[in-house]
Amino acid sequence: MQITTIGIDLAKTVFQVHGVYEDGSVAFNKPLRRAQMLPFFARHDRCLVGIEACGSSHHWARELTKLGHEVKLMPANYVKAYVKRGKSDAVDAAAICEAVTRPSMRFVAIKPEEQQAALSLHRVRQTLIRQRTQLVNMTRGLLAEFGIILPAGINHLREFAFGMQAGELLDIPEIGEDVIALLCDQLIELDQRIMTLDRTINEQSKQDERVELLQSIPGIGPVTASAIVSTIGSGRQFRCARDFAAWVGLTPLNKSSGGKETLGRISRMGDQYLRSLLVNGMASRVRSAKIKPDKADPWLLSLLERKPTKLAAVAMANKTARIAWAVLTNGEPYREAHATR
């Protein structure tokens, strides 16, 4: 009999592979070292290969696809339901092998190298912004220990950092002043690196028509548009706009039971970076709507009359995510008239 399906449990060095025949009986469940992976699949008959979407999964999916196999990536939390008992590499590989054959399973689109390279810019940018936030909090905390309180906002700390770099002195012990000067130098350096990444993202955005199309949507700039395209590509792996908004984590949790429909808070189940970009962009639109209501979206104004500001920003992010999916899949720019119908 021919082996039709193989499940792979990825790791750093040793991978577990589980293969089954046409009738579902187990053909093998064995470990392979990294150097053995490609030779093993090169001499193997072409078949369906299932892999959890995790670190290095897109690389292996591309390599096995080149060898002629049909490779499908699956979210790890969807595979968990097929684990029968216990937790081991062999059990996980068997669960992956079974999950990939289920007709109701949802799959992750395989990213090409160019898309992953663009996405790496955003991942590094996200890490640097987190480091900058930690640095800002530490600097403010240390200054507060000496009775120095700066106004809220990162711009005030930037001005303070540039002043320290220019030679301004503080009325504190020399050791404390040296430590704060070190933090200020690091803050300025991080700012410069983030700005360099932003410039690179802007330059890359001009070379992709899909990013240009997404920028036609109010509240979406080059960084957000590039992040969406780098993360989901064409977006056709989602069946509808709501599926994409749910994947980002902007739709409410459904807790319905006994015929009674109950919706809770937003799920926050998707990409945190993408969700934060959308929510922050819509928060800017909400602020603008309050300042210039005559130029704001009527739907947003009616929402602000009924809901708090933060909730309105999340609702706008939900709506914008759905519009972004429609723009990507249809290949047409956003038209403002669609929002006011």
pLDDT, tens digit only, all 341 positions of the chain: 889 999 999 999 999 999 999 988 999 999 999 999 999 999 999 999 999 999 899 999 999 999 999 999 999 999 999 998 888 999 999 999 999 999 999 999 999 999 999 999 999 999 999 999 999 999 999 999 999 999 988 999 999 999 998 888 888 899 999 999 999 999 999 999 999 999 999 998 888 899 999 999 999 999 999 999 999 988 888 989 999 999 999 988 877 777 777 777 787 778 889 999 999 999 999 999 888 888 888 888 988 889 899 999 999 999 999 999 999 999 999 987 544 43
Give the span between the Cα atoms of 306 and 64, in whole angstroms.
Answer: 53
Q: Which of 186, 205, 224 is the last residue of a domain?
A: 205
CA 161, CA 154: separation in Å to the nearest integer? 10
CA–CA distance, 91 with 26 (Å, rounded to integer): 12
Cα dihedral 198, 203, 207, 212 sign: positive
Whether residue 173 is contained in a domain is answered as yes
Of the candidates 205, 225, 254, which is a domain's last residue? 205
Question: Is 38 found in the same domain as 66?
Answer: yes
Query: Is residue 106, in this structure, part of any structural domain at all?
Result: no
Here the tokens at position 133 are 């936030």
Of 172, 205, 238, the last residue of a domain is: 205
Same domain, 43 and 150: no
What pTM does this model have?
0.84
Residue 108 lies in a domain: no
Residues 297 and 213 in one domain: yes
Check if the beta carbon of residue 18 is closer than 8 Å to that of residue 62.
Answer: no
328 and 269 in a common domain: yes
Distance CA 89, CA 76 (A): 14
State the residue range of the domain holding 310: 209-340
Listed in order, strand segments (DSSP E) in 34-120 are: 48-52, 70-74
CB 225 within 8 A of CB 214: yes
Question: Burial of 167 by CB count in 10 Å (0-12 exposed, 13-18 middle, 19+ buried)?
Answer: exposed
The C-alpha atoms of residue 325 and residue 101 are separated, in whole angstroms, by: 27
- Cα separation, 293 vs 286, in Å, equals 10
Report if residue 105 sits inside a domain: no
Do residue 21 and residue 40 come from a single domain?
yes
Contact 334, 294 (CB under 8 A): no
Domain total of the chain: 3
